[in-house]
Structure 1
């Protein structure tokens, strides 16, 4: 973003250390910002502030690119009520940093909102000059059928081809594609739908469960501010999903209510058995959920939580 803004002569507004919702919204409105970018965590806080004081800020021209973790549909729809548009981007440091963008095709822009949101919550289409494929564990390229799930692999002019010192050779295929570690399906139109990171997938009873899909669904619940889903050991099923929930300041819900809410979208065996209520979810330095910290935090749960005897 800083490079493209400089290229076209756009003013750049930097927030400095003041990243709380009110300070950011004051800055956006005062400087008449039209384009910005950030992780979903920031925008969830901004949406909550906008809803608390809907007439305080006017941001009708703002567009935001959101990435770093999956964007829940409720966030996209919520910001749209304030005239703001959200485009999800996907990439990593090794893709410098963008590889796909949910800029919809014209045919999908014209869909009704309840159908369009499916494409808006995807990771989008591969950027120009970026080649993208998905592959199974044996390295076989999978079809773009919207059903087969595989690791996302990319290559292109600005995609990393090697690491300094020759390390990390296992991160590249024999024919030079970067193995991203993200798991996805790609539909026939070319839209990428991330399922999870390979290390965050949950294998329960021999079946894979997407933590990202569960997180996005939970964050659509009106009482939930944030949700992270991790795998915990289970003596019978190998692993089971556990949901870590942060409620909105004035809302709450019981575990049974959350289970019922998820049961409308997922098979029963995919729904988390346990829900841990926390004041906040630990984060990495880049603002993503720190699932390693969560797995360590909940690694020694009592038997009533893990299904043990």
Structure 2
């Protein structure tokens, strides 16, 4: 409770936009739970709100294993549960999930969040849905490909327009080079974007 009160005081002087950004994050640790971010190199990432890595948790409320299994494959040797979520933690302890490890794009050694790109693209008035996947690239290893469902099929949007729109919040290397318009984003049985199916369609040359 004291930690929450201290954090709240720190944020009272922030402008409304920055306060909303903090409130949109997943939250802070609570008693009995520890969190850490671990990078590809196995090192614990700094709490700077920028450095991404896998979210790992440990504590009394964390599962010992998945239901009806005794597998410890998702645990580190020192007992931390590997969530599979790519996240950041800021200096005040606020954690934000940016992607899933399987959907994260690594281009030229830099991480790119597919979820952040999707949310930004879907805020464009001409875009109804957007799903971003990684595709192979000879120079950069991977590059983001954006598949789009238009809000109005008769109102097209150019790649130049989208690149300019994204440039307000993303660095050049994070912005997709290719955009593909599709009729509908494939979805799983629970309504989530089925990126496995999108990757399959790309591999088959469907777009």
Question: Could you say which residue in structure 2 is the equivalent of 1:12?
Answer: none
8 Å contact 1:224–1:252 — kept in the other structure?
no
Matching of residue 192 in structure 1 with residue 95 in structure 2: yes
Question: Could you say which residue in structure 1 is the equivalent of 2:63?
Answer: 160
Distance 1:237 1:139, change over 3 A: closer
Question: Could you say which residue in structure 2 is the equivalent of 1:149?
Answer: 52
Gaps of 5+ in 2: 1-6
Deviations 1:102-141 (Å, cap 9, x if unpaired)?
xx83654674332223223322223553321111234333
Counterpart-to-counterpart distance in 2, 1:204 and 1:154: 27
Matching of residue 115 in structure 1 with residue 18 in structure 2: yes
Give 1:157 shift: 3.0
| Secondary structure of residue in 1 paired with 2:145 | strand
1:45-194 to structure 2, matched below 5 A, reads 105=8, 107-108=10-11, 111-163=14-66, 164-167=68-71, 169-194=72-97
Give 1:214 shift: 1.1
Number of matched pairs: 199
Deviations 1:171-229 (Å, cap 9, x if unpaired)?
00112211011111110111112232111111222322111221121122122222111
Residue from 167, 173, 188 that aligns with 1:269: 173
* Bigger Rg, structure 1 or 2: 1
Deviations 1:226-267 (Å, cap 9, x if unpaired)?
211100112322211000112224754222211111122222
Question: Could you say which residue in structure 2 is the equivalent of 1:288?
Answer: 192
Counterpart-to-counterpart distance in 1, 2:24 and 2:180: 26
Counterpart-to-counterpart distance in 1, 2:9 and 2:149: 37
Matching of residue 201 in structure 1 with residue 104 in structure 2: yes
Is 280-289 or 179-188 further displaced after alignment? Answer: 280-289
Deviations 1:58-114 (Å, cap 9, x if unpaired)?
xxxxxxxxxxxxxxxxxxxxxxxxxxxxxxxxxxxxxxxxxxxxxx83654674332
8 Å contact 1:184–1:194 — kept in the other structure?
yes
Question: Could you say which residue in structure 2 is the equivalent of 1:220?
Answer: 123
Gaps of 5+ in 1: 1-103
Residue from 144, 160, 164 that aligns with 1:241: 144
Question: Could you say which residue in structure 1 is the equivalent of 2:162?
Answer: 258
| Secondary structure of residue in 2 paired with 1:260 | helix
Counterpart-to-counterpart distance in 2, 1:188 and 1:288: 32
The CA RMSD measured in Å over matched residues stands at 2.4
Is 127-136 or 202-211 further displaced after alignment? Answer: 127-136
| Secondary structure of residue in 2 paired with 1:166 | coil
TM-score normalized with structure 2 length: 0.83
TM-score normalized with structure 1 length: 0.58
Higher RCO (Cα < 8 Å, 6 or more apart): 2
Give 1:274 shift: 1.1
Residue from 288, 294, 297 that aligns with 2:201: 297
